[in-house]
Structure 1
Amino acid sequence: MNYQGKIYRPWIEANSLLIQTTLGCTHNKCTFCDMFREKRFGIRTLEDIFNDIDEARQLFPYVGSIFLIDGNVLALKTVFLLKVIEKIRSSFGECSKISLYAGLNDFRRKSVSELTELKQAGLTMAYSGLESGHPEILKWVKKGLTPEQALIGMEHAKAAGIEVLLSFIFGLGGKERSCEHIAETTRLLNLMEPEEVAPMALAVQPGTELAKEIVAGEFIQATPLQILEEEKYLLENLTDFNTFYWGDHGNNIVSSKGRLPEHREAFLEKIDHAIATHPVTRQEVLKTFAW
């Protein structure tokens, strides 16, 4: 397999075969992210992608799930992506899940008919970063996305039947905008009703623009207590749409995983217990690991 540069995949895809389809990210400007800083966005040739698929077929007798990397693979032209998916399906008849990274703007820019084609070809799921539902915070972190655009992107995905896991970041509003951040994020999630959600505590990546803002005093990190209170607000105020909650990221203070709304009360009990007893609540900054 011919991987180029740093390779990232969601922790949920730990057992999936990774097929590198793009290099880097088309946006690559978010102040908190350094995943693809060393790469310029590029598209691998179909020949190279197909060679990797053929090699993987020889290496692995069974592949149940495949994840396409790097960054927003859905930015590819639909015809190109259809060829990749069709090659996967013809090579791995046993594969029941094909997923990828996709920006909500990528969903928005494709027509529902294009997305439906991809769904029918075999694309089952996409991972999209929402990060925040607050328009000013989205602008501050240079996400290149508005809440209105996020809604349209989700509408396109739902119309095509492609499941979306939305990730967002506790603490992204900092100390001053913690309440605004989680209130607007929760409000937007209730409108979007994603099939799965993955909240994670803010992890400051060395060398990023956000890290420099912290050193300069332009961004004051939310306290661990505020991060727990954000998660409590989220769980208390999500409406009863059916979703899977991946709250078990390694940087989260409390690990919770399961369906909502069924497990809401159990998750809230864990948060309340942490707020009352966890020693991290006496710290000013949550210590996290770089990605």
Structure 2
Amino acid sequence: MRYEGKVYRPWPEAESILIQVTLGCTINTCTFCNMFRDKRFKVRDLEGIFADIEQARRVYPEVRSLFLIDGNVMAIRTELLLKILNKITETFPEIQNISMYAGFNDLRRKSDADLLALKQAGLDMVYTGLESGDPVVLERIKKGMTAEHALEGMAKAKKAGIRVLASFIFGLGGKLRSKEHIEATTALLNQMQPEEIAPMALAIQPGTEMEQEVQQGTFLLPTPLQVLEEEQYLLENLEEFDCYYWGDHGNNIAPMRGMLPRGRSAFLDRIEHEIATNPVTKQEVIKTFAW
């Protein structure tokens, strides 16, 4: 297969075959992200996409899971997406999971009929960046999305039967807005009730607008203790809905994963242990690694 530019996939998709459908991201303004700054958004030619699918068939005797990249694959025309999904299911009759990146705005802009058709054609799951439920934080990071947009997109995905993994960032409110950020994010998740969630600790990416804000002192980094306390608040206040917790991102202070609410007690014990014993909680600024 041929890939153009840097390639990203969610860590739960480590075993999946990657097929590049789009280049870049339709937003590309988020202050904390530099994933696709080396590309302008475009859709690859269908001929090239089909060639990569056929090449994957020649290389791999069995393909159970496949992930479509780059960012915001859901943004492209439904007619084209259906052709790609049909090609995948015809080429890999053994396929069990097809997923892609999609923004909540992409989901809400599709009709109910479009999303249902995509589900019936084989789309199982989408990975969406929620980032925060706090309107102040969402505006600051230039996400181009509101909490209301996220709710609308989530409702449409649920109606179509498409699973959603919502990712968000501990510490995104910085030192001064930690409380508002996590309270609003938790409240929004309780309204949305996604099938899976993936929290990760804030990591300042080189060359981003947020890195400049840190250097200029207009964004104060949270402390590790604040990040742990955000996770503690989340786990204490998520309502009783079934949800898989992907809390094992490499930047998280206490990596752990499993089903909620079943694992709530064990997860909280781990967080409380880290708060009580981990020397990192004495540091003034969180230190994490670029993606």
Normalising by the residue count of structure 2, what TM-score does the alignment of the two structures yield? 1.00
Q: Structure 1 residue 117 and structure 2 residue 111: aligned?
A: no
- Whole-angstrom distance in 1 between the partners of 2:256 and 2:237: 17
Partner of 1:55: 55
Partner of 1:173: 173
- Whole-angstrom distance in 2 between the partners of 1:203 and 1:175: 14
Aligned residue runs from structure 1 range 107-256, under 5 A: 107-256=107-256
Shift in Å, 1:187: 0.2
- Whole-angstrom distance in 2 between the partners of 1:84 and 1:32: 31
Shift in Å, 1:157: 0.3
Return 5+ residue gaps in structure 2 as ranges.
none
- 1:249-271 CA deviation, whole Å, 9 max, x = no partner? 00000011000000000000000
Partner of 1:260: 260
Whichever residue aligns with residue 135 of structure 1, its letter is P
- 1:144-191 CA deviation, whole Å, 9 max, x = no partner? 000001100000000000000000000000000000000000000000
- Whole-angstrom distance in 2 between the partners of 1:248 and 1:32: 20
- Whole-angstrom distance in 2 between the partners of 1:284 and 1:208: 22
- Whole-angstrom distance in 1 between the partners of 2:167 and 2:244: 12
Whichever residue aligns with residue 235 of structure 2, its letter is L
- 1:209-253 CA deviation, whole Å, 9 max, x = no partner? 000000000000110000000000000000001100000000000
SS of corresponding position for 2:50: helix
SS of corresponding position for 1:49: helix
Give the root-mean-square deviation of aligned CA atoms: 0.4
Partner of 1:96: 96
Partner of 1:34: 34
- Whole-angstrom distance in 1 between the partners of 2:93 and 2:159: 26
- 1:75-121 CA deviation, whole Å, 9 max, x = no partner? 01000000000000000011100000000000010011100000000
Shift in Å, 1:287: 1.6
Q: How many pairs are equivalent?
A: 291
Partner of 1:64: 64
Whichever residue aligns with residue 204 of structure 2, its letter is V
- Whole-angstrom distance in 2 between the partners of 1:237 and 1:256: 18
Taking every aligned residue pair, what percent have the same amino acid on both sides? 64
SS of corresponding position for 2:259: strand
- Whole-angstrom distance in 2 between the partners of 1:85 and 1:77: 13
Whichever residue aligns with residue 271 of structure 1, its letter is I
SS of corresponding position for 2:85: helix
Whichever residue aligns with residue 89 of structure 2, its letter is R
Whichever residue aligns with residue 14 of structure 1, its letter is A
SS of corresponding position for 2:19: strand
SS of corresponding position for 2:239: coil
**Following superposition, which runs of at least 4 residues in structure 1 exceed 6 angstroms of deviation?**
none
